[in-house]
């Protein structure tokens, strides 16, 4: 629901709207060498396709360029804390933020590898109920594929989801809007884990084109 999410943007977020807008005469990411730079600098952790196997490292494939640039900006400015990503982002120029994000926006979603054991049906049902009850689908979309500055969460890595939901909940990840802190308010920790379980195994359509 792009419209609803846009309403949650704070004044601070407006600061990087200009970053997301293509500069006059800017080269498309593919021509600016960002595909090669992604392969050299990012793929070791995030995977060549934008979905890697490293623990705690989110899949980027299928994220909208606007979401990606927002997060790179937050890492660069020290407003989202992660040792690996702070190191990566701190030397990025504005053009780099745009170039890497535009490139991420071209990566088609990569489905999660098939689970080793079939999902627990009761836990999946409980997760689906929680996602509706706490309006996750209102912002992230009925198929959890996100859009614009709202991230795709369908089939994201479970360990990453667990960690990042706890970080929103504790305030370690404040986000660029209060949307997530407010959304998680009052959800018990065990229900956060059930949400992560369900979302990472989300069975619905995941073949939607990148960034659409």
Which residues of the chain form contacts with ligand HEC (CB under 6 A)?
Answer: 5, 8, 41-42, 44-46, 56-58, 60, 68, 71-72, 80, 82, 84-85, 88, 100, 131, 134-136, 138-140, 149-151, 153, 156, 161, 164-165, 175-177, 179-180, 183-184, 195
Q: Map tokens 């009925």 to a residue.
A: 142
Tokens of 146: 């996100």
Nearer to ligand HEC, 20 or 153 (CB): 153
Nearer to ligand HEC, 24 or 175 (CB): 175
How far is Cα 183 from Cα 162, in angstroms, rounded to an integer? Answer: 15
Nearest distance, CB of residue 33 and ligand HEC, angstroms: 12
CA 159, 164, 165, 167 dihedral sign is: positive
Nearer to ligand HEC, 80 or 201 (CB): 80
- Chain CA centroid to CA 103, Å: 15
CB atoms closer than 10 angstroms to residue 109: 23
Nearer to ligand HEC, 20 or 165 (CB): 165
Contact indicator for 151, 173 with CB cutoff of 8 Å: no
Nearest distance, CB of residue 205 and ligand HEC, angstroms: 18
Query: At residue 28, what are phi and psi to the nearest 5 degrees?
Result: -60, 150
Quick one: which of 121, 116, 112 has its CA closest to 155? 112
Nearest distance, CB of residue 97 and ligand HEC, angstroms: 9
Contact indicator for 102, 123 with CB cutoff of 8 Å: no
Nearest distance, CB of residue 144 and ligand HEC, angstroms: 8
Nearer to ligand HEC, 24 or 70 (CB): 70
Q: Map tokens 């404040």 to a residue.
A: 174
Instruction: Please state whether 144 falls in left (phi above 0), alpha (psi between -120 and 50) or beta.
Output: left
Nearest distance, CB of residue 199 and ligand HEC, angstroms: 6
Nearer to ligand HEC, 82 or 145 (CB): 82
- Chain CA centroid to CA 52, Å: 14
Nearest distance, CB of residue 83 and ligand HEC, angstroms: 8
């Amino acid at each position: 629901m792009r419209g609803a999410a846009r309403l949650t943007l704070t004044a601070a977020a407006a600061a990087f709207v200009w970053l997301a807008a293509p500069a006059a005469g800017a080269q498309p990411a593919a021509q600016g060498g960002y595909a090669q730079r992604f392969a050299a600098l990012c793929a070791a952790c995030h995977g060549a396709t934008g979905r890697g196997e490293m623990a705690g490292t989110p899949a980027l494939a299928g994220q909208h360029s606007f979401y990606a640039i927002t997060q790179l900006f937050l890492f660069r400015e020290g407003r989202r804390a992660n040792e690996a990503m702070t190191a990566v982002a701190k030397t990025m120029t504005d053009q780099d933020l745009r170039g890497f994000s535009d490139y991420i926006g071209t990566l088609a979603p990569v489905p999660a590898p098939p689970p080793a054991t079939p999902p627990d049906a009761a836990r999946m049902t409980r997760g689906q109920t929680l996602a509706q009850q706490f309006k996750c689908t209102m912002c992230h979309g009925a198929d959890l594929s996100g859009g614009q500055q709202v991230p795709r969460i369908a089939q994201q890595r479970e360990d990453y989801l667990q960690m990042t939901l706890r970080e929103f909940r504790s305030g370690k990840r404040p986000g660029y809007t209060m949307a997530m802190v407010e959304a998680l308010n009052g959800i018990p920790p065990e229900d956060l884990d059930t949400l992560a379980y369900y979302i990472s195994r989300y069975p619905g359509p995941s073949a939607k084109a990148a960034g659409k």
